[in-house]
Structure 1
Amino acid sequence: MRTRPFPPDGGPMTQASPRLALPFLQPAQAQKHVTHNEALRRLDTIVQLGLDTMGTTTPPGTPADGESHAIGAGATGDWAGHDGEVATWLDAAWDFVTPQAGWLATRTGDTDVFVHDGTGWVRATATVEFDNLAGVGVNAVANATNRLTSAAPATLLTHDGAGHQLKINKAGVADTASLLFQTDWSGRAEMGLAGNDAFSIKVSADGSSWDEVMNVGPGDAVVTTASMVGTVTATPGPGSAVIENGTGATGRYTKLADGTLICDVAAFATASGAPATWTLPAAFADAGFTVTATVLGGTPCVVTVSGQTAASVDVESFNLTGADTVTPDVNLVAVGRWT
C-alpha cells in the first residue's frame, strides 16, 4: 500500500489554515484544483469524524474506501511512524491527519462521543455506573435515610419469568425490618419485625402511640392478639376482645363477641324436696337460654330446670318413680345470648 504526502508536492506547508492545516490557494498557482481538492479531501476526513477503530497499530488488509482509524502506539506497516494520527483510506492510499485537542469523533459500534485531549482520545460522555450510588430519586429527591425515593401513582415490581420476592433484611434481632404505612408522613400501621424476631401488626392514631393488633412468635406459629381474649363489649372498639373468659364461685363463663354466652358449673348439688338455685356466673340478656344437665354418680335420675331468669335458674332432681328425695350432683351448661 502507498501513502499520500500532504501537502501534495511534499514540500513545507507554509500557506495553510492554522487550525485544520487546510492549504490555501496561492497567487499565480498552477493546478489550483489540486490544492482545492486536497483541502476538500482533508475536510471529508475530519468533519463528522467517524472512526472504525481506535488504538489499532496494524493496517487492515483490504480497507474500504473512506474508512478511518485512530492509530495507536507502535504502528507497523504503512502506518509506521504515524502513531497517534488518523489514517483514512482514500483512492487506494492512506491519508494521515494529526488530530488536535478538542476534536470530536464517534466510533463504529459505540454510542459514545470521544474527544481528543491533545494526547489521545477519551470519552466525552461519561459511562454511567449504577453500583454504589449515594442515592436514587425517581421524580423525587433522595436523602441519607431514604436513599431510594420514588414519587409516583404506583410502583411495579414484576417477575422475570418465575416468582418474585421483596426482601427486607435487618442487621440484628433488636433492629426493625418492617413496612410502615403513613398518612401525611405520620405512621398509621406497621407490619414486620419491629425490634424483635416476632412478626407483628401494629396500628396508631397519631403516629407516636402504637397498639399491637397481632403477634406471631418465631418458630412456634402461635398467634397472639391483644383483642382475642379479654373483655367483650357490646360495641366493638379499643379494648374490646373477641373472647372473654371468667371464673367465679358459681361456675365459669365464656362470652363471645358475636353475642354468644356459655355458662357451666361442675358438681352442682341439688336439694331434697325443693329446687336448688344456680346463680349464673355471668348474666344472659334474658331468660331465653338453654340448660343441659349431666347427672354424676350411678343412680339414674331425672333433672328439671325452672324459674329461669337472666341471672339464675332453679334445678330439681327426681328418681325414676317421680319422688324428689334424691340429691345427686350434676354438671350444668347454659347456652344463650348475652346481648
Structure 2
Amino acid sequence: IMENDMRRLLGYHIISQVGFMVAGVGVGTAMALNGAAAHAFSHILYKSLLFMCAGAIIYATGIRKINQLSGMAKKMPFVAVCFFVAAFSISGVPFFNGFISKTITIAAASAAGYDWVYTLLELASIGTFLSITLKMGYFIFLRDADKNVEIKNPLPKNMYLGMGFGAALCFLYGVYPDLLYRYLPFGYPDYQPFTAAHMLSYVEILVVTMVPFMMFLPRMEPHTALSLDTDWFYRKPIDFVIVRISMLLCAISGGLGSAWGVLYEKFMDLTSNPMDFLDAKPFRKRTHYNPENYRTSIADPMMITLTVLVSSIAYFIATL
C-alpha cells in the first residue's frame, strides 16, 4: 500500500500471487492442486500484462512513480483499458481469469476445513484489489490531470499488439473457464465459479474495500520517500563491494593507460631520433633528430672524389 514505484509494487504482488499457489500445494487436495496449477497459468497472463502496461507508461512518459502521474486514461486510453483488465484479473473480479483460478484454491481451503487459510486468502485478495485496482488505477489513470505529464515517446505498434493480446486472453479465460479447466492435472475440478454465492461474495468484498479507500483517499496517495524492505540488507553490502571493486579496476585501468602512454612516447622518440639514442651520453638532454647535426662537411666528399680520380688516373698511366 505504501509502495510508490510501479514495477516494484507489481513485484510485491508476484510474491502475493505465488502465495496462492503455495497455499494450494499446502492444502494438498486434488481441488487445491488444480487451483494452484490454474492460478499459475492465469498469473502469467495478467502479471505480464500489468508489467507491459507499466512499461508502456514508463516508455511514453519516462516516469515510474505513481504519485507523479495522473489523468493517463485520457492520454493513453488503450493502455488504461488493458491495465484495468489485468487489474480486475489479479483482483479476482468475476468474468476475468483471476476469478476462475484464484477462487478454486479459496474454495478448496474452505472445503478442507482450513478456515484460517480461507480467511487469509480472502484478505490477500482484498489487499490486491486495494493496491493494484484502486491505488494504481485511480492515481495513475482516473485522477484529474493535476500533474504536468507529457507523452515524450509514442508507443510502437508491437506494444499495442502485446497488450491487446494479453488482455483478450485474460477476458477469454474468465468468460470461458472450460478452456483452462479441461487441462488441469487432476481432471475437471468439482467447482463451478459462476454460482450466485461465489460471485456475490466476491463482489461484496470488492465493494466494501472501496469504501475505506474513498474515505481516506487523500492519505492513500503514495509518498516520495523510499520504502525500505529486507532487500536493504543485500543492496547496501553489494553496492559497497561493487563501488570498491569499480574504484580498484578504474585505478588499475588508469595506471596501465598511463604506463602505455609513457611507453608510446618513448618509442616515438626513439623511432624519430635513432642517432640521438645511439650516441647519447649520460645526463645529456636529448633533442629531436636534426639532419644538420649529423651531415658531413662538403670537403669530405670532394676529397674522396679527388682521391679516387687521381688514383684512377695514376693507375691508368701505369698500365700503359
TM-score, normalization by structure 1: 0.25
In terms of fraction of residues, the more strand-rich structure is 1
The structure whose RCO (Cα within 8 Å, separation 6+) is larger is: 2
Considering only CA atoms, is the larger Rg found in Structure 1 or Structure 2?
Answer: 1
TM-score, normalization by structure 2: 0.26
In terms of fraction of residues, the more helix-rich structure is 2
